[in-house]
Amino acid sequence: MRRKQGMVTPNPEAWMARALRLARHGYYTAHPNPCVGCVLVKRQTVVGEGYHARAGEPHAEIHALRAAGEAARGATAYVTLEPCSHHGRTGPCAEALIEAGVKRVVIALSDPNPQVAGRGMKMLREAGIDVECGVLENDARELNRGFLSRMHRGRPFVCLKMAMSLDGRTAMASGESQWITGPCARSEVQRLRARSGAVISGVDSVIADDSRLTVRADQLDLPDAETIAGRQPLRVIVDSRLRLPLAAKCLRQPGRTLVATCSCDAERRQRLEAQGAEVVCLPSAPDGRVEPGALLEYLANAEDINEALLETGATLAGAMLDGGWVDEMVLFVAPTLLGGTARPLFELPGLVRMSQQKPLDITDIRALGQDWRIIAIPHSR
Ligand code: AOF
Ligand code: ZN
C-alpha cells in the first residue's frame, strides 16, 4: 500500500494480484488458451473487470471493457497477459483498449504466442498509451506454465502423479492397487485431471487397472463441477505394440481416447478404431517403444495440449523421468505398508551408483485427509 494525500491507495501489485485472482477462475476451463484476468481502475476504483473463461469466448479485456462502458475512458488496465494484437477466434484486445480510451496498461507477462509476441504492447505504445510490463510476472508464469511450455518448448508441461505407500510401493506384485490413498487424495487427482488437456497412461497400467481416466463431476469437489466434467481430458494410451484390449473401459467413456503407437499392424489398428479409439503412429525410440519426445511434440502441436498428466506404472514413469520429460511430480503418500514384493515407484534399471541418483526439490508438502501430498521438481538434465 502507498500513502497519497492521507489516503491509502493500493499499489500496482495489489491491482495485478486482483487480476490474477480473476484469471484463476479460468484455471479448469480456459485451456488451450491461457488464464487471463483484467481489472480497469480509475481514481483508485474498479470500474470494470473480467477474465477469459474458455477458448472462443471473449478475452479478459473485452469482459472488463463491457462492464466499464464509458467509464473505461482514462482508466488504467491491469492485465495478466499482454493484450493480443491478432484476429484469432476473437478480435485484438489491444485495439479494443485503444478505442475505449484507456490511458495506461500494466501487464504481468508478455504473450509468447508468435501471433502476438510484443505486437500488442507495440500497438498500445504507438497509440500513445503508457505501457508497463513485468508486474507479478512470476505469478502469471506459474499460472500459465502449460501454455508457456507449449509456446516456448513445443511440448506440454508434464506432471507425473503417483500414489504410494509409506514404504514407496504403488501396487502389489499382482498389479492390484485399489486403493492405496483415501477419498481426499483421489478427489485431488480428479482436479489434476480436470486442469489437464490430456491424461497419459501406459498400456500395461490400463490393462492392470482398467481405469477410466475420466473426470467425474461427483468426485471433483469444485463449484461448476458439471461444466468442468463436460469437457474430458484427451486420454492418451502409450501402446507401442497395440495391445490395448478392445473391451478396455477407457474406450467406453465420454471424450476421446488416443492410442499412441509405433506399430504398423493395420488390422489391430482398425479393430481399435472400430471401438472408437483414434490411433496415431509415432517414431520409436531405440528400445522399440514410442519416443516420449515425439509423443509430447505431437500432443502440443496437433492437439494443443498445455498440461499433460502422466498417470502410469513404474516402467513408463521411469522412462519419462530418466529422459528428463517430467516437469513436476505429485506424489500421494498413504499411511500404509505394502511390503517388499510390491511394485516400486520407478523402474530405473540403469541407476546403480549413488552418483546417478535423481535429486528432487520438494516445493510443497501437505496433508490430504490421512494421506500426504508431496510436490517435487526433478533437477533438469
Ligand atoms: C488476451 N486476453 O484474455 C487471452 C489472450 O483464439 P483466440 O482469439 O481466443 O486467441 C487466443 C490467443 O490469444 C492465445 O493463444 C493467447 O495468445 C491470447 N490470449 N489474449 O489479450 C485474453 N486469453
Ligand atoms: Zn485478446
pLDDT in tens, the chain (381 residues): 455 555 555 699 999 999 999 999 999 999 999 999 999 999 999 999 999 999 999 999 999 999 999 999 999 999 999 999 988 777 799 999 999 999 999 999 999 998 888 999 999 999 999 999 999 999 999 999 999 999 999 999 999 999 999 999 998 988 888 889 999 999 999 999 999 999 999 999 999 889 999 999 999 989 899 999 999 999 999 999 999 999 999 999 999 999 999 988 999 999 999 999 999 999 999 989 999 999 999 999 999 999 999 999 999 999 999 999 999 999 999 999 999 888 899 998 889 999 999 999 999 999 999 999 999 999 985
CA atoms of 240 and 237, how far apart (whole Å): 9
Question: For strand 328-334 and strand 371-378, is the pairing parallel, antiparallel, or unpaired?
Answer: antiparallel
Report which ligand 1 atom has the smallest distance to the Cα of 37. Answer: 3
Report which ligand 1 atom has the smallest distance to the Cα of 92. Answer: 21
Say whether 193 counts as a known binding-site residue: yes
Residue 184: all three cell numbers together: 481426499
Q: Of residues 49, 61, 82, 307, which has the active-site annotation? A: 61
CA atoms of 32 and 93, how far apart (whole Å): 18
Residue 209: all three cell numbers together: 487397472
Pick the residue whose CA is nearest to atom 17 on ligand 1. 113
Say whether 294 counts as a known binding-site residue: no
User: What global pTM score does this model have?
Assistant: 0.93
Report which ligand 1 atom has the smallest distance to the Cα of 82. Answer: 21
For residue 325, the model assigns a pLDDT of 97
For residue 364, the model assigns a pLDDT of 98
Q: Which residues contact 282 (CB under 8 A, 6 or more apart)?
A: 260, 261, 262, 290, 291, 294, 295, 298
- Of all ligands present, the nearest one to the C-alpha of 35 is 1
For residue 199, the model assigns a pLDDT of 98
Q: Is 142 a catalytic residue?
A: no
Helix segments in the chain, DSSP class H: 12-23, 60-68, 93-99, 119-126, 137-143, 145-153, 183-195, 203-209, 217-220, 225-229, 266-274, 292-303, 314-322
The answer, yes or no, to whether any atom of ligand 1 lies below 6 A from the CB of 186, is no
Say whether 302 counts as a known binding-site residue: no
For 267-273, which contacts have Cβ atoms below 8 Å and span 24 or more sequence positions? 268/242, 269/242, 271/246, 272/242, 272/244, 272/246
For residue 8, the model assigns a pLDDT of 56
Residue 372: all three cell numbers together: 500426504
The answer, yes or no, to whether any atom of ligand 1 lies below 6 A from the CB of 33, is yes
Q: How far is the CA of 361 from the centre of ligand 2 (A)?
A: 36
Q: What is the separation, in whole angstroms, between the first and last Cα of the chain? A: 42
For residue 9, the model assigns a pLDDT of 58
Cβ–Cβ contacts within 10 Å for residue 269, how many?
Answer: 17
If DSSP codes are grouped into helix, strand and coil, which group holds residue 223?
coil
The answer, yes or no, to whether any atom of ligand 1 lies below 6 A from the CB of 55, is yes
DSSP string over 135-188 = TTHHHHHHHTHHHHHHHHHSS-EEEEEEEEETTSEEE-TTS--S-SS-HHHHHH
If DSSP codes are grouped into helix, strand and coil, which group holds residue 133?
strand
Q: How far is the CA of 220 from the centre of ligand 1 (A)?
A: 27
CA atoms of 127 and 99, how far apart (whole Å): 10
> What is residue 288's DSSP assignment?
S
Q: How far is the CA of 80 from the centre of ligand 2 (A)?
A: 11
For residue 381, the model assigns a pLDDT of 58
For residue 281, the model assigns a pLDDT of 96
Nearest to 302 by CA among 258, 262, 249: 258
For residue 114, the model assigns a pLDDT of 85
For residue 112, the model assigns a pLDDT of 94
